[in-house]
Structure formats: structure tokens, C-alpha cells
Chain A
Amino acid sequence: MSHDPAEMSEDDERPPPADRGRAEYADQVLENVLENVLVFLTCRRDRNSVSLVCKSWCRAEALTRSELFIGNCYAVSPARATERFERVRSVALKGKPRFADFSLLPPDWGAHFAPWASAMAGAYPGLEKVYLKRMSVTDEDLAVLARSFPRFKELALVCCEGFGTSGLAVVANHCRQLRVLDLIESEVTDDEVDWISFFPDGGTSLESLIFDCVECPINFDALERLVARSSSLKKLRLNRYISIGQLYRLMIRAPQLTHLGTGSFSPSEIVQQGDQEPDYASAFAACRSLVCLSGFREIIPDYLPAIYPVCANLTSLNFSYANINAAQLRSVISRCHKLQILWVLDSICDEGLQAVAATCKDLRELRVFPIDAMENNEGPVSDVGFLAIAEGCRKLQSILYFCQQMTNAAVVAMSNNCPDLMVFRLCIIPRYRADRITGEPMDEGFGAIVKNCKKLTRLAVSGLLTDRAFSYFGQYGKLVQTLSVAFNGDSDMGLKYVLEGCSSLQKLEIRDSPFGDSALLSGLHHYYNMRFLWMSSCRVTRRGCREIARQMPGLVVEVFSWNNNAQDRGEENDIVETLYMYRSLARRVDAPKYVEIL
């Protein structure tokens, strides 16, 4: 065709009928070409940009998008999403705000999967993958999934609740092409259903079976048979009801595993000296492809040597349930030269962290969880271990560190030594705690992180912080997307600095900090760019929240009140307990009574 589409669109006159037919044909060709090209575009941000070019590009993009990601399930209605995107094969949905993990969200708040399940059941018969995070999922929802999608292959439920082993049984039984069943940090009720037995007889396509969070006993014989007939199984994470003897039996049936969650890692009965025990080390040695090890839910450290044969190849090690000391950790970690991801308990002490720093030069991600979550004067890990990591693990990209004491100097050192840091989450457990040595606020330390770590996208702060720290965040934190604040700051200025300075901010969660209406209103220019803002136990009033709602109709402004009485919501000057607001194309229709939408 010799027609130039651009020319045609600018032509106001109607072309004669013959030409019009050719014009439409040209459009159609273009759209087909576009679709064939867009199929290769996988990054959703790129796709969002593409869809903004013009209507026909938007249509073409919508027809070719096969992976749908919805970061806030209340940002759009299921109907609208399924109308726009017709050929989706994979859906990822996120529901509750993260502070729900810490009991700050009242129960039954929402994030129900049910309306999405039923919308997708009608719209996406070819659906293959579902990923849900912090959603409320019922057994019925799982039944809908199992019944409605004959090609269903992958289900991942992360931090979800509301379902039980009954629902798992339905999925196991009906989804004959199931490759992935991943239950991660979810609450699964024990309906006393032997769900493992519900997998079909004969070979399965299972590649990943993760159920370490399921807090109920498993029919081991059925599991063993399942593993034996799942030749593609690469990832298996067992729950704490699996003893080390049972682990052994599973491992010798599945030496091809790459990811293993070891279950309890202790025997189910008393083991006397001299008892005949299997050669656990040989079972590990046989798993030549093992790169990721986790579990150790009730570890008896005497059995640790069993994992020595795999240490040299390990890239990921999760000891975050293992109450082991420094020496015990060292015996393992000294062999793990390739380690990139390490999760531990602070039982390993500063000394254990020093051992990590000495060996794990390739470490990218470190998480140190506290055994004792109480506020104390001292704890097993401190700025000493933190500094060791800063000096030893220069490639660090992500750190989550719980401690009782910290110094600015150690944090500054990490900011200088670890330029690749993208995620910095430091939790000094005692609130308002200052620098251990100088007694100063932790402003300079956290300030150095935002200033020196040029790739920083996620920041969580703690300890004694004044508004100055926030001025640093605003000044230097240009790439920060997620910021978590708790018991910090002096005044509204703190929040203002952040809202005015952090131009990439998408998720802001704040609790127990003295930020009020004036600060809240200083972010009006930015709220449409954000996924959400959470403020609980701060100083914003109903009046301030209402003002936001008035000025920004594209936001849903949720305020939680503690009585269900619609008439007695409280006065305008009252401080609001929780404010949760987010951009949205939909109104919530399922809000519980204590949620007031302004």
C-alpha cells in the first residue's frame, strides 16, 4: 500500500468509498503488524508506555498483554480489567497493605479474591498462572480456580489467608497440569483433609511444591509416592512436620532438586547414642544441583554436618528458623563461597556475622531476624556485626537487619562500602534509640545511605530520627520508591521533605510519627503517582483527609474508625487512627463498616 497512515488521519475530508476501504485495511494491517511486534514486549512498564501512544496502540497492546499485574486489587475493578485485557494467561494480584502483616489492619478489611476469581472464570478460559499476595482467599475461590481453568498450571499464594487444606485438596485433584503449587508465608487452616493424597495417580507435571508454612501434619507416605512420581520436581519445601528421617527418604527419591526446604531437620523420636541412622550427608551429596536450602524448623545442630557436601554450590541459605550459635554457623558458612542470599537469626551473634563477612564475598542479600523481639539494652547482634558485613560483603544489594543497638558510623560505613545497595531496611528494635556511642540521632547514618547509595529504591528506617533525616531523604532519595517510617520525626516538616523531594515515591507507610494535616496536604502534587499512602497513629485529622478526598477524586481515601456507627464517625478535628489512601479507577463496594471512605 502506498498510503501513508499519518497522512490519512490528518485528512479531514472523507475519502471516497474505495479509498476508505483501503484506509481501513491499512489500519488493520498496521494493527496486526503491531500486535505481532508487541507480543515480544514483556516488561509491563514498557507496555504501559506503549498503550499511551494512541488508541490503536492501546488496543493492540491490550490484545497482546498476556501477563496482568495489578499492584493494588482495589485500584481497578475486575470487570474493567477483564474488559480491557482479553487474552490474559497470567495474573498477579496484590491486596492488603504491608502493615497488615503486623496486625495494624483490622480483620476482614478486604482484599477478597472472590470477585476476581469469578470475573476471570468468565473472561480467561486459558488462564494458566495466578500469583496472589496478601489477598483473602477462600476454599471456594480455590474451587473456582480449579474448575474454571482447564490449562491451569501455576498457583502461588504469598501472605494469604482464608483457605485451608480443603481448598488445597480441590486444586491438587482438579488441576491436572499443575506445575507449581507455592504456599509462602500464608495461613492455612487445618481442615484435617489429606490434601497430598488428592494429587492424581500417575505421573505429575509438578516442578515446584512449597508448603513450609502449612501448619498441619502431612500424610508422609502419600507425599513420598507423590515425589517419586514427579520426575520434574525441582523445588520442594517441606513443613516442620517432616522429620529428618522422612527428609532422607524424600531426598533419595529426588536427587534432581534445586531448591530444598528441609522441614524440621530433627528426628521424630528420641535418638539414642549408637542408634542406626541413615547417612544424611550422602543424601545431600547426591543432590548435585542443589543451590537453595531452607527449613531447619526445629533444628538439632548435631545434624548440620549433613549439609556440608552441598555448601560449595549454595547460592541461597535460609537459617531464619534455626537457633544456632556462631560456631555452628561458621562450620557451615565457611564452606559457602558462592552464597548470595542469607537469612539468619541473630542467635549467631556479631561473631557469626563476622564469619559471614569473611567468606561470603558474593553476598547480595542478608536478612537478620531477632529471636527475642523485646526492646532490650543489648542484643546478640549490633553495629559490630553490621560493620563487619559492610566491610566484607561489598556487593550487598539488599539488607534487613534487626538489632538493639546501632551507630551512625557503622551505617555510614555501609553506605560507602556497598554502592550497589537497593534495599536498606534497618530496624533498631527499641523505639527512639539513639547512636549507641555518641548518643546522637541516627540522622547522619540514614542520610549517608540515601546520599551514597545511588541505586537505593527501598528504605525502612528506625531509631531516633529528627526532621533532618527526612530532609536528607527528600534531598537525596530521588530513586526511592518505597519508604517505611515508624516512631520517627519531629514535625510536619519531616513528611513534607519526603513528599516534596522523593520524586519516585510510590509506597509510603508511616506509623506513630508526628505528621499532621499540613504535611499531608503538601503531597497533593504527587499522590496520583503513588500506589498508596498509609498513616496510622499519626496526627492527621478527619478534616485533613476529607480535604485530600475533595481535591483528588482519583484517590480512594479510607479512614478507619473504631465504631461501626455511621452516624457517630467523629468530629472533623479528631485525629484519625488510620489513613489508607490509594489511586483508583474504582470505588470500593465491599468495605467493612469500620472503614469510612471520604
Chain B
Amino acid sequence: MEGYSPRLLDLIPKEREWLVQRDEEERKHGASEEKKLELRLGPPGQEEDWTRKNNSTRKINDERSLFSLGYFPNVGQNTNTNTFMIQAQKAQFQLQPTTTPQGLSVMGKESSQSCSTKVADLQNAAEKKMAFSPAPAANTAGPNSSQKRTAPGPVVGWPPIRSFRKNLAGTSSSKPQPESQSVVPNKVSSENPVDSCPKGLFVKINMDGVPIGRKVDLKAYESYDKLASAVDELFRGLLAAQMDSSAGRIQNKQESEKAITGLLDGSGEYTLVYEDNEGDRMLVGDVPWHMFVSTVKRLRVLKSSELSTLRLNSKQEKVPLGADMR
């Protein structure tokens, strides 16, 4: 096989991508593919008519590759006119964030390219409801055109760098600093898909006597009673385990567990309290449920005997758990 020599199918004005076909045979096919793509794809925001049923033409009937490349013009940087900068673009997908991949619409990016792998991608896009937020373009392949094209966005998982290695630019500076460096520097921390998911409302919950905290999704419960029973389920086992350990025995079987009751009315050994968005500690159950959900920041299961100290102070400072537990 010879070295690769690209042939231009179509020179399109600067704002749009250059389409290149690999050989004559595939030209026509590619062109019609390209046309189909151009017709089908619109700018993000439009409903994408890309259901699986319409993919009949895209089902792989033959094995011949439809490989073709999309080219983007160099924005005056590369003076070597013999070399084409090949930058394939992928369709951009939009996500309604959810922890399970369902019920999402896929919107293809209109800056199409007749790359066969992109065809596969777009097909897969209909099945694949993944997303990422578009980053501003580092290179300008067409986003400044009057046509509504989004900036070339990043591809999921490409380049293959783990998330904690990203966003490292600007982490260094010289000694005399204009603003103080806080102990908690402002950096993008590693992703936690659960936390960033707006569909669920996860709050931390800790229990006295149990070093293991949990998280609960408040959206999963519609009432205080359901929340209370969930808390009981969550901590029953852990509490029993903790009792065993503190008694000095090593157990690896489940001991008989006592149900945790009376969380809401003060009648039980434990009471459920929460910290609201103003930092105040409140008893759970006083306000209507939806108001609770909108102001709660974290939950605690306290020993009811501790409550009297609470009531004396309207604003509690958070006591570091380390001190509590010792």
C-alpha cells in the first residue's frame, strides 16, 4: 500500500470543514452519505431525527470501509501547505443528567464530517446517551461562522487522561502572591457523578457511635416516615457491628440488630436532626417535607439524650467528628 495521499472532494469556504474522500470509488457513496448527514443534523437544540429505525441505511451490509476524513482549515498557523491538519470531530451530545442512561435525547452536531467512524459514532449516538459539556474551542474550526455551529467539543474519554490529571494549567505561580492561598485551593476535584447529578438529592448522614457515614437520596422519599425507615435500615447493621467492635469482640456474622425507632418524635434512643443551609441544627419533621428538602444540607442521627444540650443553643457549630468519637 502506498503512502496516503488525500484528494479533495470539495472545497468549502473556510468556516466549514473540508471534506476529503479517500478514493474515487467511495466518493459517490461518501458524498451521498455526507448529504444525508447534512440534511439530518442540525445545530444542537433541534430534535434529532435519528432513531434506530431510520438507520436502515446505516446498518452494515457490507464490510467495505466508508472511511473518509473531515479536514479543518488551519487558521494560518501551519505554513506547511503540503500537510493537512486532520482533525476529525465527533458529534456532540447533550445530556439530561441522570445516574442511569435512559430517556435522553441525542443531538448531533451539525458540523458533520463524512467519516465512516463518525457514521458509526452517530449511529451509536442514538443508542448511546452519553454527554459532556462542550469546552471552548482551542482551535477555531468554524465556530465563528454565521451558521450555527457549536465549537468543536471534547470527545468522551479522549485523550485518555484520568480526570484528576486535567485542569492543571495555572496551578503554579511565583512566591509573592497577590491573593492568599487558602488551604483548600480552588481546583477541580475529581468527578463524583453522584454529587453532580441534579436528579437526585444526596445528603450525607452520620450517626452517633458509627464512624461510617452514608449518603441518602432525599428525592427517593416523599415523606418523613419513609426517610426515617430508610435511616433505620441504613444504620441498623452498622450500629450493631459497631457495638460488637467496641465490646472488643471480632464478629463477622450479623448480630441480632435492634431496629432504630422513634427518630422523629423523640421517643426513641436516637433522634434525627439536620443542618440547614444557614448552618442551623434543626429537628427533622418540623417543617413541611418539600421545605425540608430544599434547605437540608446534611443529616445526623443523634442520641436523644444529647438533644437537650442542642435545644439550649439555636446555632450549633459543627463539632468535628474526631472529637466526638474519641
- Chain B residue, CB-CB nearest to A463: B86
Q: Are B192 and A189 in contact, with the CB atoms below 8 A?
A: yes
- Which residues of A lie under 8 Å from residue B183 when comparing CB positions? 217, 241, 243, 268
Return the contact of B121 from the options A241, A433, A512 (Cβ within 8 A). A512
Q: Are A323 and B172 in contact (CB under 8 A)?
A: yes
Chain B residues 1 to 60 lying within 8 A of chain A, measured CB to CB, are: 1, 3-4, 6, 52, 55, 58-60
Given contacts A432-B69, A464-B4, contact A561 B127 (CB under 8 A): yes
Chain A nearest CB, measured from B198 CB (Å): 15
The reply to whether A516 and B159 contact each other, CB–CB distance below 8 Å, is no
Q: Give the chain B neighbours of A370 by CB distance below 8 A.
A: 159, 161
A148–B180 Cα gap in the complex (Å)? 47
Contact of B124 among A464, A492, A516, A577 (CB under 8 A): A577
Whether A187 pairs with B212 at a CB distance below 8 angstroms is: no
Asked if residues A575 and B123 are in contact (CB atoms below 8 Å), the reply is yes
Which residues from B are CB-within-8-Å of A369? 161, 165
Decide yes or no: A429 and B172 within 8 Å by CB, A194-B320, A377-B78, A466-B1 being known contacts.
Answer: no
A-chain residues with CB within 8 Å of residue B193 when the two chains form the complex: 107
**Interface membership of chain A positions 235-270, coded 1 if the CB is closer than 8 angstroms to chain B and 0 otherwise:** 000001101000000000000000000001011111
In the complex, the answer to whether B185 meets A298 with C-beta atoms within 8 Å is yes
On whether the beta carbons of A466 and B175 are closer than 8 Å, the reply is: no
Pick the contact of B321: A193, A215, A492 (CB < 8 A): A193
- Our pick among A193, A266, A320, A375 for the contact of B213 (Cβ within 8 Å) is A193
Nearest residue, chain B, Cβ from A345:
B168
Question: Number of residues in B with C-beta < 8 Å to the partner?
Answer: 98
Contact A562 B102 (CB under 8 A): yes
A552 an interface residue at 8 Å Cβ cutoff? no
Minimum CB distance partner of A105 in chain B: B157
Task: State in angstroms the CA–CA spacing of A192 and B187 once bound together.
Answer: 19
B310 proximal to A (CB < 8 A): no
The segment from B221-229, B244-252, B287-295 that touches chain A is: B244-252
Binary contact track B139-164/A, C-beta < 8 Å → 1, others 0: 10000000000001011111111111
Contact call A563/B85, Cβ cutoff below 8 A: no
Is B157 touching A99 in the complex (CB atoms < 8 A)? yes
Q: Is B277 an interface residue (CB 8 A)?
A: no
A374 near B87 (CB under 8 angstroms)? no
Tell me if A378 counts as interface (CB < 8 A to partner B).
yes
Query: How far, in whole Å, are A464 and B6 apart by their CA atoms in the complex?
Result: 12
State whether A378 touches B77 (Cβ < 8 A).
Answer: yes
Query: Known interface pairs A166-B211, A370-B161. Does A301 touch B138 (Cβ–Cβ under 8 Å)?
Result: no
Indicate whether A564 sits within 8 Å of B160 (C-beta atoms), given known contacts A323-B171, A514-B117.
no
B-contact bits for A100-111, CB 8 A (1 contact / 0 none): 011110111000
In the complex with contacts A373-B166, A433-B86, A491-B63, A300-B192 CB distance below 8 A: no
**B127→A577 contact, CB < 8 A:** yes
- Chain B residues whose C-beta falls within 8 Å of the C-beta of A484 in the assembled complex: 160
Beta-carbon contact of B102 and A321 below 8 Å: no
Sample (24) of A-B pairs whose CB atoms are under 8 Å apart = A103-B163, A121-B252, A150-B250, A166-B212, A167-B212, A173-B211, A187-B190, A194-B320, A298-B172, A298-B185, A300-B175, A374-B135, A377-B77, A378-B77, A430-B86, A491-B67, A511-B157, A512-B120, A517-B60, A539-B60, A541-B60, A563-B102, A564-B102, A593-B100
Q: Residue A574 at the B interface, CB < 8 A?
A: yes
Q: Is the CB of B211 within 8 A of A193?
A: yes
Which residues of chain A from 153 to 177 have any CB-CB distance to chain B below 8 Å in the complex? 164, 166-167, 169-170, 173-174
B120 A575 Cβ-Cβ under 8 A: yes
Give complex CA distance A486, B161 in Å.
13
A443 to chain B, nearest CB (A): 8
Q: Do residues A102 and B158 form an inter-chain contact, with CB atoms below 8 A? A: yes
Q: Is A269 a contact of B181 with CB atoms below 8 Å?
A: yes
Answer whether A377 and B139 are a contact pair too, CB < 8 Å, given A102-B157, A301-B172, A539-B60: yes
CB-defined interface of B102-126 with A at 8 Å, one 1/0 digit per residue?
A: 1000000000000011001101100
Could you tell me if B69 and A103 are in contact, using CB atoms closer than 8 angstroms? no
Query: In the bound complex, how far is the Cα of B167 from the Cα of A323, in angstroms?
Result: 11
Known interface pairs A174-B245, A187-B192, A575-B120; A427-B59 also in contact (CB < 8 Å): no
Known: A198-B211, A374-B154. 17 other contacts (CB 8 A): A102-B160, A103-B130, A104-B156, A122-B252, A147-B251, A169-B212, A192-B206, A271-B176, A299-B171, A376-B139, A439-B6, A512-B117, A514-B66, A539-B120, A575-B124, A577-B124, A577-B127
Is B52 touching A574 in the complex (CB atoms < 8 A)? Answer: yes
The answer, yes or no, to whether A273 is at the interface (CB within 8 Å) is yes
- A377-B77, A432-B88 are contacts. A514–B4 as well, Cβ < 8 Å? no
Does A395 reach chain B (CB closer than 8 Å)? Answer: no
Q: Given A266-B181, A434-B4, A514-B120, A191–B213 Cβ distance below 8 Å? A: yes
Interface residues of A in 126-185 (CB under 8 A from B): 139-140, 143-144, 147-148, 150, 164, 166-167, 169-170, 173-174, 185
- CB of B158 within 8 A of CB of A193, answer no
Query: CA of A562 to CA of B98 in the docked complex: distance in angstroms?
Result: 13
In the assembled complex, B267 has its CB within 8 A of some CB on chain A: no
Report if A320-B320 is in contact (Cβ < 8 Å); known contacts: A99-B157, A377-B74: no
Complex interface: chain A residues within 8 A of B155 (CB): 431
Give the docked Cα–Cα distance between A490 and B26 (Å): 13
Q: How far is the CA of A434 from the CA of B84 in the complex (A)?
A: 8
A538 to B127, CA, bound (A): 13
Query: Does A441 have its Cβ within 8 Å of any Cβ on chain B?
Result: yes
> Taking CB as reference atom, which chain A residue is nearest B169?
A371
Chain B residues with CB under 8 Å of A170's CB are 211-212
Of all chain B residues, the one with the shortest Cβ separation from A198 is B211
A594 touches B101 (CB 8 A): yes
Instruction: Enumerate chain A residues within 8 angstroms of B245, measured Cβ to Cβ.
Output: 147, 174
Chain B residue numbers with a CB within 8 Å of A106 are 101
Q: Could you say which of B6, B87, B127, B164 contacts A570, with CB atoms under 8 Å apart? A: B127
Contacting pair A299 B172 (CB below 8 A): yes
CB distance from A297 to the nearest CB of B (A): 8
Q: Which chain A residues lie closer than 8 Å to B158 at the CB level? A: 102, 431, 486-487
A554 to B158, CA, bound (A): 32
Distance A191 CA – B300 CA, assembled complex (angstroms): 12
Check B3 against A440 for contact (C-beta < 8 Å): yes
Question: Distance in Å from the Cβ of B185 to the closest Cβ of chain A?
Answer: 6
- B258 in contact (CB, < 8 A): no
B139 near A147 with CB under 8 A, answer: no
Rounded to whole angstroms, the CA-CA distance of A138 and B183 in the bound complex is 28
A513 at the interface (CB under 8 A from B): yes
Q: Which B229-255 residues have C-beta < 8 A from chain A?
A: 238, 241, 244-245, 250-252
Instruction: List residues of chain B with CB within 8 A of the CB of A399.
Output: none
Contact B212 A147 (CB under 8 A): no
List, in ascending order, chain B residues with CB within 8 A of A217's CB: 183-184
Asked if B303 CB lies within 8 Å of chain A CBs, one says no
B308 within 8 A of A: no
Closest 7 CB pairs of A and B: A194-B322, A102-B157, A374-B138, A323-B172, A191-B213, A166-B212, A491-B65
Which residues of chain A are near B321, meaning CB under 8 Å? Answer: 192-194
Chain A residue contacts of B166, Cβ below 8 A:
373
Contacts of B120 in A (CB 8 A): 512, 514, 537-539, 575
Cα–Cα, bound, A146→B22 (Å): 61
The yes or no answer to A573 lying at the interface (CB within 8 A) is yes
Q: List, in ascending order, chain B residues with CB within 8 A of A438's CB.
A: 3, 83
The listed residue with most B CB atoms (<10 A of its CB), out of A164, A370, A373, is A373
